[in-house]
Structure 1
């Protein structure tokens, strides 16, 4: 430890001891793919991203066959369109649990995370739009003495 002679030395010592901002690095598996897990409601999606022609496969089906509604297809493609990476990556996802809407949200979350693992510089764009944040809203549990989570049984005077 060096001796401090003046306040200027103290300022230099503090700057050198300050931790640097975290640097995000590319995270790839042995096959050159980026992997991420996306979640929404009760759905969990495992997503792999690798360079390719833009083919999106979900549970061994084309994404247009798996998600027939155009709104769900749009939700799925949002991170790709936002980052101008349409047609550059092949995406393979397996999704389980929940309904179709939750599954589409889970795959979107997984694609966003996997893109940041492949290209860390995309993190700022996706984070600003909120695609890296896990939507933690889930269905409230049913309580005893109630018809549903909050609804009471119908009152009967007689």
Structure 2
């Protein structure tokens, strides 16, 4: 039995997107909803489409994504990362295009932890001289 999809995982901040690419017509579903409904902002929709537009594969694959954790912006970027990784599994020649655009690099920036003796990660309590 051969698998009929390509799987990849994308991550950003605390968001994880498990992405499956099928041969198809270009339908993108995120958590069972069309991506236009899940990501109502146009900027987030553009982020999701970015790897497909760069590689000129928009409309060639049906994409099913299970996004979890983080906020909508982090999830959109995690979906983009997952789609980019899955496209490379399908066609390794797309790697240079996606790499040049920076879509294969996992953005490692995360929320910095709060430290003890301080109200936040970097902020200090107000200093009283007297």
| TM-score with structure 1 setting the length | 0.79
Is 1:46 matched with 2:46?
Answer: no
- Select the residue among 59, 83, 96 that pairs with 1:124: 96
- Count of aligned pairs between the two proteins: 130
The CA deviation at 1:132 is 0.7
- Select the residue among 113, 118, 129 that pairs with 1:141: 113
Unaligned runs of 5+ in 1: 1-28
- Return structure 1 stretches of 4+ with deviation > 6 angstroms: none
Question: CA-to-partner distance for each residue in 1:107-136, whole Å, 9 max, x for gaps?
Answer: 000000001111111111111111111011
* Bigger proportion of residues as strand: 2
Alpha-carbon separation, structure 1, partners of 2:126 and 2:50: 44
What is the correspondence of 1:20-35 to structure 2 with a 5 Å cutoff? 30-35=2-7
Three-state SS of the structure 2 residue aligned to 1:36 is strand
- Select the residue among 65, 86, 90 that pairs with 1:114: 86
The CA deviation at 1:157 is 4.9
- Select the residue among 54, 58, 62 that pairs with 1:90: 62
| TM-score with structure 2 setting the length | 0.95
Root mean square deviation, CA, Å: 1.3
Q: Which has the higher contact order (CA 8 A, sep 6+)?
A: 2
